[in-house]
A and B are shown apart, each in its own frame.
Chain A
Amino acid sequence: MSGSTTQTTTTPTAPSAAGSAVPTDLQDERLRQGTGLKGALSTFVGNLRQGELGILPIILGLVVIALVLQALNPIFLAAPNLVNLLLESAAVGTIALGIICVLLVAQIDLSVGSVSGLSAAIVAVLFVERGLPLGIAIAGCLLTGVVIGGLYGLAFNRVGVPSFVVSVAGLLGFLGLQVYLLQPQGSINLPFDSPLVYFAQQAFVPPLLSYVLVAALAAGLFLTGLANARRRRAAGLSAGSLTSLALRSLALLVGVGLFVAYLNTARGVGWMFVFFVGLVLGLHYMLTRTKWGRSVFAVGGNVEAARRAGINVRWIYTSTFMLCSTFAAMGGILQTARLAAANNSTGGGDVNLNAIAAAVIGGTSLFGGRGTAFAALVGILVIQTISNGLTLLNLDSSFRFMVTGAVLLLAVALDSVARRSRTSSGRG
């Protein structure tokens, strides 16, 4: 039988999709979702009440933190400082992207700091000591990341070792390898004129191009939204209000445009930060628009259901571990580039926990199946803002650790509260 014929026989009153006044998906009379701008707004408020917080609370939090820091030290919001802050965010933010992947399948990787340190050592050894082309050195790092993630996947899938344990073993093992590779000096400097260091320290988007990029971003949002709405209407489905789409695109254009203009009064937007944003958008696409991304959320939500749906669960686990280690390796290269050196403490200290904290503060659930790639962007900005602001106040790392810890606790508490209000409003 074909769905369209039985559709008309079982519900003779239901108008056919194409010619009906009411879109197919809005015909249920219990659906109070209004249309137009007002509808979008009320749906949004409803979601908020039911614990679908999205990214809003953390953005509000970021604004509050920034305002407090600005009140304490007027240098904080000065353009040169913000330019710096964004550049400082890229490396650990990139690592946080990988953490999001493993958290989505309800796993964890505690070795990202060490893997990034190892990667820093590899790029320095291959590029500086061996004199290999930069491209090959970078490829070597990324390949190392893929292999490490593959090994974690193997240990997890075949041997059944929890990812927590495997990655703690990795944390120690790869730290050791990093130190071994950097012997005897324990540190290798990158030449300042190398393209890598230039990319991380000197390369800024020309002002004109920066506005073009912002405009392209806003136009992209508007046009894909428009195309999507057209397709939905053609198929007899409802589509969001055009006004709200236009307003959102305009807000993006003006908001980000003004911010970029402000940054352009100093050195502007660093290419490394643009690169990081590109990675965020790429991962966002992978997670929301591909079969693989859908499978990742399914595995995080209910492994058994995913398995029975024919999803290759083992591959989903392995691929997320691989992505995580590869993002960590990439983050390691960016750290080296930023510092113009790889040493024994690259990737050490708070890198590991900041990456995990960024993912969680950004709204990735620790219980699997919930989160977005934008969590890395927002989360790392919160952490960098705190770190940067407290440094400006001449407070040492002890305060930084304590404040970041408090924010992390707040984020996790928010996640749990949201989870509870989702349960009580029947959204699991």
Chain B
Amino acid sequence: MTMTDAPAPSPTSSTREVLSLRGITKSFGAVAALSGIDLDVLPGEVVAVVGDNGAGKSTLVKVLAGVHRADSGTITFEGREVTIATPADAQHLGIATVYQDLALCENLTVVENLFLGQEKGRMRLDEVAMEVRAWELVRQLSAKIPTVRIPVAALSGGQRQTVAIARSLLGDPKVIILDEPTAALGVAQTAEVLNLVERLRESGHGVIMISHNMEDVRAVADRVVVLRLGRNNGVFAVKDVTSEEIIAAITGATDNVVTKRSAARASRAADGAPVEVAAAPATTDAVGGATR
């Protein structure tokens, strides 16, 4: 069903990919935010994109969402080479993006938020049709929302994430991009959202999930794409990689403070002697996720 054994992407990979990036480059003035990024997403696959702050993750999302236009490189969607110049282009193709700040109206109900800007019936809203469709989406995600006629203000963080994801499903997208979907959530709500991600995979969507949290990545992703300083720094199948290896790729060194720390801890556990940690760890969020 899922593609955990998918090979690392190469320019010659097959046409099964729903989305395929080759050599994507994007600069802001003198800053090369992305240089030569390759990325493949298969239907029914969750690809995690990880990287240190400033690695270019958000820029990559924005290129795919049509917020920024790539300077060079090609984007292939369902076997066709496409240009994504505007958010409308992305939506039209079937690439939906759920941004970290979910952009919901708290004074409006779940249904009203789901259909905001794309209501059925201009001068005579078709509330029944919208509510029926809303329930379909909620059921499809096996989401825990007691009623769709409740203001979003009354929902928990996880439920709001659910609403935002359900909203992205309205246009029947092929690829869904989630920017840090669990960043602000507690344990139970994180699990809820990870379940949603699995639902998306089961229904055959390609999912790109930006994350800082190794646990989440290991829990749901099939492949991990590591960005470092705007470049690809490794693609791993999650089932045969350790968190340490991913973090090594994120920080750009196998022999770095993070791996030293875990090595130190391992040897301390082994011979019971306290070991001096070489330096204070460079504070990346990824470290926090991994050494938790």
Query: Which A residues form the contact surface with B (CB < 8 A)?
Result: 1, 3-4, 6-7, 10-11, 14, 17, 24-25, 28, 30-31, 33, 228, 231-232, 235-237, 289-291, 294-295, 297-298, 300-302, 304-306, 308-311, 369-370, 422, 425-428
Contact = CB atoms under 8 A, between A and B. Distances in A.
B106 A428 contact: yes
A343 B119 CA distance: 46
B125 A305 contact: no
B153 A7 contact: no
Contacts of A309: 103, 116-118
Contacts of A426: 153-155
B116 A427 contact: no
A290 B125 CA distance: 6
A337 B157 CA distance: 55
A235 B131 CA distance: 9
Q: What is the size category of the interface that chain B forms with chain A?
A: 35 or more
A305 B129 CA distance: 23
Given A25-B148, A290-B122, A302-B104, A1 B172 contact: yes
B136 A7 contact: yes
Interface of B: 99, 101, 103-108, 112-113, 116-119, 121-125, 128-129, 131-133, 135-137, 139-142, 144-149, 151-155, 172, 199, 202-204
Given A305-B116, A427-B154, A10 B139 contact: yes
Decide if the interface of chain B is mainly helix, strand, loop or mixed: loop
A394 to B, nearest CB: 45
Given A25-B135, A28-B146, A427 B124 contact: no
Given A291-B122, A305-B116, A309-B116, A237 B105 contact: no
B133 to A, nearest CB: 7
A31 B155 CA distance: 14
Please indicate which of the listed interface residues B104, B105, B147, B154 has the most CB atoms of chain A within 10 Å of its own CB: B105
Contact of A301 (B108, B128, B149, B155): B108
Given A11-B142, A31-B146, 6 more contacts: A1-B204, A28-B146, A291-B122, A291-B125, A297-B108, A428-B154
Given A25-B148, A290-B123, A291-B122, A311 B117 contact: yes
A316 to B, nearest CB: 11
Contact of B131 (A237, A302, A428): A237
A304 B148 CA distance: 22
Given A7-B139, A305-B103, A310 B117 contact: yes
A304 B116 contact: no
Nearest to A230: B128
20 contacts: A3-B133, A7-B136, A24-B135, A25-B135, A25-B148, A28-B145, A28-B146, A31-B146, A228-B128, A237-B128, A289-B125, A291-B121, A291-B123, A298-B108, A298-B116, A298-B117, A310-B118, A427-B153, A428-B107, A428-B151
